[in-house]
Chain A
Amino acid sequence: MQHKQKEKKAIITVKGLQKSFSTGEVEQVIINNLDLDIYEGDFTIIMGSSGAGKSTLMYALSGMDRPSGGRILFDGKDITEYKDDELAVFRRKNCGFVFQQIYLLEKMSLMDNVLTTGFLTGEKKNNVIKRAEDLFDKVNLPKITRKKNSSQISGGEAQRVGIVRALINRPKVVFADEPTGALNSNNSDAVLDVFSKVHEEGQSIIMVTHDKKTALRADRIIYLKDGKIFGECLLGNYQKEDVERTRKLNQFLEEMGW
C-alpha cells in the first residue's frame, strides 16, 4: 500500500510546518515541525483528539490561515508566500470548503449561495448555472428547494448545498471540517454518500472528523497528536459492509490510543 501511495502525485507537500498561538506571554504550539504529502485523488481523513491540531492543519493546507513557519507546496507552488488577495484567488480556483456549521449565506437563496462562489472565476454565467443545476441533481436537492432560503431547509439539505458550493468551481481539493458533526444519522449517511460519490469521480478530499463511520470512507487516515503525525493508516478504496476495513481501522485507532 505504501508503495502504491508513492506512485501517486502529491498535490500538497508540507515541509516543517509550524503553527503556534500567543496568549499573552505564553506561546502555544499547535502544529510542530510537520511534514506531509497529500495525494491527488485521495480521500484523506485527519483524526486526532481535541486540540491535536486537526482543523489548524487543514485550514493551513487550504490557505485559510497562515502558518507560523514551514512551507506548503500546493501543486508545486508555495502558498505560504502568497499575499492575502493572492490566497483568495488561490482558494477560489483550487479549494472547496465544507464546514461543520455549514455557513450558508443567510440572506440569499440556496442557488445564489452556490453561484456566489461559481461566478467568482469569471467563467461564463450560463456554464456555471448549468453546472450548479447538475451538482444539485447529484446531491438530490429538488429544484423547488434550490430557491429557498437557508433558514427554510433541514441541516442535511443545507450540508448538501455546502457540498455543491464546495464543488462548483471544480476545485483540486475539497476540504471538509467535520461535515457530519452537526447532523443526525440519516442525514450524515446521505452527506457521506455524496462525498464518496464525488471521490469516486476522482475528487481529492481532505476531511477532519472524530467519527469512525466517516473515517471508514477514507483511502488514508492521518492521526495527529500534539501537533505531529502520530500515525498513518491506508484503507484503500471504500466498499460498503467491508469487515476487514472496519477491523483495520479499529486496530489503527486502538494503537493511536483513540
Chain B
Amino acid sequence: MKKIWVLAKHNLKKEKGQYMAFGIILLMTALILNIALVLLFQMDKAYDKKFDELDTANVNVIVAGGKSQPVVEYNVNIDKETKTTEQFEIVEEAKITERLDEIEKEISQLENVEKVEVLEAIFLNAIVKDFRGTDFDMNTVFYNMDETHELNRLEIIREDKTEVKNPIYLPLYIAEFGQFDLGDTIVYQIEEEKVEFTVAGVVQEMQYGNLGNGIIGVYLPKETYTEFVKGREMCHVTVFSAQTKEQADSEKMMDSITSLLTDADESVLFSGYDRANKQVRTMVCNLLVVILAAFAVIVLLVSLLLCRERIQNRIEAEMTDMGVLKALGYTGNGIIAAMMLPYGIVGILTIVFGIGISYILLPVLVSVIQLQAGFWLTIGFDAIGALIVVVLLLGMVFFFTYFAARKIKKLQPIWAIRGISQGKISRKNVFALQTTKGNVHLLLAGKNMYAAARQNLLLFLVLFVLTILISFAGVLFYNVMVEPDNFMSTLAEESPDAVLTMNAEDGKGHKEVIENMEQVSNVLEYSIETVQLDKEEVPVFVCEDFNEVTNDLCYEGKNPENDDEIAIGNEIAQNGSYEIGDSITLTVEGKSASYKIVGFLQSVNYQGKLLELTKEGYEKICTENPYITLYVYLNEKEQTESFLELAEDNFEDGIVTTVNFYEKSKTSQELYAGIVQIVVLAVFLLTILIALLILFILIRSLLVQRRQELGIYKAIGYSNRQLMFQMAGSFLPTAFVAIFGSAVLGKFMMPTIYNGIFSMIGVMKHHCEISAGILLLFAGVLFVATFFISMVLSMPIKKISAYALIKE
C-alpha cells in the first residue's frame, strides 16, 4: 500500500496542472448537480411544508355574489311589485345566505372533503399604478384579513404597526416584484377611480402566490376593508375553499365543487387546485432544474472522457516507466491503483468543494426563484443531495479510470520497456508532403490532426454538445433580450402597444381618426369579455379580425372568421372532450348561441381556459356593450406614452381608460429577462470554461507527448508562431466541423428542444425564433474563443529552447 501511495504521490506531483483542470471540471459538475438536486428536493419540500403550515386549501372556487351583496338580480326570482326596496334587500340577503350555507353543506358532504370554509371578498380587475415603474392590471381579490378563518392562513413576514391611512398587506410577489416597501403608497385604479393604500405589511400565502394563475389576493384590515367595500357591493364574491383528505385527487374535487356550484346556478369566476397552482409557481425553478441537470450531465461526461483520455495518454507516454515498474515487481493492479488514486483524491476534494461552493451560489438563484414562486424559500444543507453527488460522481470517476487503466494489466514488461505498444500502430503517411498540394504548415497541421485522432474525436464530441448548449442559450437570449416579443407572445396573449377603452358611441368615430394618426400602424377592436360555458364563467377574446392580430394563440385549426365560429382553449377542449367541428353553446345574461369549433388555443395565463369569438359572433349573445376597446399598434413602441397623452388630449370625452401595454409588457419581461440573463451568462461562461479546460488538457498532453518532436521542428527552423499555429491548427478543423455542424443541426434540433421545454409549462406552440444568424454568431464566438484559447495554451512552446527540447 505504501508503494502505491508513493507512486500515486509521484503521479499527482508530476501532472499537477492536468489534475487541477480535471478537478475544476469535476468541481463544476458537483456544483451544478448539487444546485439542481437541492432545488429539486428542497423546493418541493419547502413548498409543501409552507402549504401545510398555512393550512392551505387544496381547492378554491370563487363565485359571483356574496351574503353581503344586496341584490343579485339574475339569480333570484321575486315579485318586485309586492315588496319595498328595503324589504327586497332583506329578503334577498336571507335567501342568498340560506343558499350559500346550503352549498357549503353540500360541499362538505362530498367524498374526500376534509374541511370547507367560505369567505367573502371583493373581486375586481384593478390596475396597480407604478408597479415597477408601469401600470399593471390584475384580477385581484381583496380580503378582509381580520375575518376569522382556518384555511388559507397568512404569514406576516414584514409589518409596520404604526397607524397609517388605508393600510394594506401585500403578498410577497407584489411587494418584491412591484418594488413596494413598508410605508409606500400603492395606488389601485378601479375603472375610473383611484384608490390609495399604504403598505403596512407583507404576507406569505399559498392560495394564489403569483400572477401565473391570473389572479392574486391582497389583504385589508377590517376598517379598511369595510370602507373599501362601500359602493363596491356588486363586486362581492364568495370564495369556497376545501381541504381534501390525503390521497384525494384535488383536480377531480375541483370539478365536483364547480359542478355543484354551477348546478346551483352560481356563476363561477375562478377555480383552482393545488397541483396546478404549484406547477405555475415552481415553473421557473423546474426549468432551472432541468437546464442545470442537463448541463451537469454534459459536464460530467466531458470530465469522464477527459479523465479516460488522460490515462490513455499517460499509459502511452510512460509505457517504459510502467515496464520498469513491472520488471521491478510491481503488479498491474498496483500500478492501476496508483494511477486511480490521484483521481480519487482530486475527485473527493473537488466534489466536496463544489458542493460547498454551490451553497454560496444558491442564494442568488433562490432570490430569483422565490420572486416567481411568491414565498420565502429557505435553503438548508441537503444531505441526500450531497450524498448522491459524491457517490455518483466518485463512482463514475472510479469506473472510468479503472476501465481506462486496466490495459496496464496486459502490458508485458519487456515490450513496455522497449516502448512497443501492443496495440495497432498506424504507419499511414497522410497528407504526404511530396504529393499533396497546399501550404506546408496546413499539411503538417493535418498530419498532427490525424495523429491526434482520438483527442480530436473527444474534442468533436465535447464541442458539438457545448454548441448545442450555447445555441440553446443564444436562442433564449435572442428571444428574450433582442426580440422579447417572441418570448412574451409565447407566454402572453395579444400584446398591443396601447389600449384605449372608449364609450361605444364615440369609439367608432375615434377609431378612424386614430387609424389615420401618423404614429399608428394598426388599430383593432379587441376586448376580453366573459361568457358562460356549461354554467361556468369563461373569458372570451373578441376581435373584429383575428387575421390582424400579432400573437396568434391558435396552435391547431384556425381562428374564428365568421359569426358562427369559435376557437377554444386546450383546457376546455380537454375537459369537454371537444374536437374541431363540434358545436358549443355560450350564454350571456340568458341569451345563448351555438358556435362551431374551428381551432384550439393556448394560454399560459388563462391555463387554457379561454375562447375566441369574432365581434359579430359575440354580438349574437351580447348586443349591449357600453364600451369599445381599441388595441393600438404603433410604428415606434417607445412612443406609446406620448401617443396616450395625445389620445387623452384629443378624445378626452370618449376615453374611459388607457393602458400603456408596451410598458406593462416590458415589466413582465423584466422578470424573465433577469432569469434568462443569469442562465445565458452562466451557460456561456461555463461553455467557454469547459472548452478552455478540455483544450488545456488536450494541448498540454500533446505538448508533453510531442515535446521531442517539437524540439526537432524548432531545430530545423520552425518558428514558435508556426508551431503554435500547427498545434492550434490541428484542432481547428475538428472544432470548426463540430461547432458549425452542431449550429447548423441546431437550426433543426432547437425547435424540438424548445417544444419540449415549453410543453412543460403548457405551451403548445411557441413563437421563439430559431435564428440561423444568432446560432452562427454564437458558434462563431465559440470557434474564435477555441482558436485563441488553443493559441494561448500552445504558448509554452515558446518558453523552451530547441536545444532543451531535444536534450529532454
Name B residues whose Cβ lies closer than 8 Å to a Cβ of A.
425, 427, 429, 432-434, 440, 444, 447, 450-451, 708-709, 711-722, 798, 801-804, 806
Contact = CB atoms under 8 A, between A and B. Distances in A.
A85 B720 CA distance: 6
Contacts of B719: 84-85, 88-89
A116 B427 contact: no
A97 B708 CA distance: 15
Contacts of A112: 429, 432-434
A115 B715 contact: no
A115 B709 contact: no
A188 interface: no
Q: Which of B429, B434, B447, B714 has the most CB of A within 10 A?
A: B434
B434 A103 contact: no
Contacts of B711: 103
B633 to A, nearest CB: 62
**In the A-B complex, the 4 residue pairs with the closest CB atoms:** A92-B717, A65-B803, A119-B440, A88-B719
A65 B714 contact: no
A199 to B, nearest CB: 21
16 contacts: A64-B803, A65-B803, A84-B720, A85-B721, A88-B719, A89-B719, A97-B716, A107-B451, A108-B429, A109-B429, A111-B433, A112-B429, A115-B433, A116-B716, A149-B427, A151-B427
Given A129-B434, A149-B427, A151-B427, A105 B717 contact: no
A91 B716 contact: yes
A149 B717 contact: no
B716 A111 contact: no
A88 B717 contact: yes
A88 B803 contact: no
A84 B713 CA distance: 13
Nearest to B429: A109
A92 B716 CA distance: 6
A135 to B, nearest CB: 14
Given A109-B429, A129-B434, A149-B429, A66 B801 contact: yes
A65 B801 contact: yes
A15 B719 CA distance: 27
A152 B718 CA distance: 26
A197 interface: no
Contacts of B714: 88
A107 B447 contact: yes
Given A103-B712, A103-B806, A112-B433, A88 B718 contact: yes
Contacts of B798: 84
A106 interface: yes
A117 B716 contact: yes
Interface residues of A, number: 36
Interface in A80-118: 84-85, 88-93, 95, 97, 99, 103-109, 111-112, 115-117
A151 B440 CA distance: 23
A40 B451 CA distance: 41
A32 B721 CA distance: 33
A9 interface: no
Q: Is the interface of B mostly helix, strand, loop or mixed?
A: helix
B434 A91 contact: no
Nearest to A97: B715
B716 A165 contact: yes
Contact of B429 (A66, A91, A97, A147): A147
A1 to B, nearest CB: 33
Contacts of A116: 433, 440, 444, 713, 716
B801 A120 contact: no
Nearest to B715: A97
Given A64-B803, A117-B717, A120-B717, A152 B429 contact: no
Given A64-B803, A65-B803, A108 B447 contact: yes
B427 A111 contact: no
Nearest to B803: A65
A97 B803 CA distance: 11
Given A108-B429, A112-B429, A120 B806 contact: no
Contacts of A117: 716-717
A105 B429 contact: no
A238 interface: no
Contacts of A91: 715-717, 802
B582 to A, nearest CB: 72
A90 B434 CA distance: 24
Contacts of A169: 717
A59 interface: yes
Contacts of B447: 107-108
B586 to A, nearest CB: 78
A91 B804 CA distance: 16
Nearest to A177: B806
A169 B709 CA distance: 20
Interface in A117-155: 117, 119-120, 129, 147, 149, 151-152
Given A85-B720, A92-B717, A109-B429, 20 more contacts: A64-B806, A65-B801, A65-B803, A65-B804, A84-B798, A88-B720, A91-B716, A97-B716, A103-B715, A105-B713, A106-B709, A108-B429, A115-B433, A116-B713, A119-B440, A120-B718, A129-B434, A147-B429, A149-B427, A152-B427
Contacts of B717: 88-93, 95, 117, 120, 169
Contacts of A93: 717
Nearest to A129: B434
Contacts of A129: 434
Given A85-B720, A85-B721, A88-B719, A119 B709 contact: no
A177 B527 CA distance: 92
A92 B715 CA distance: 8
A64 B802 contact: yes
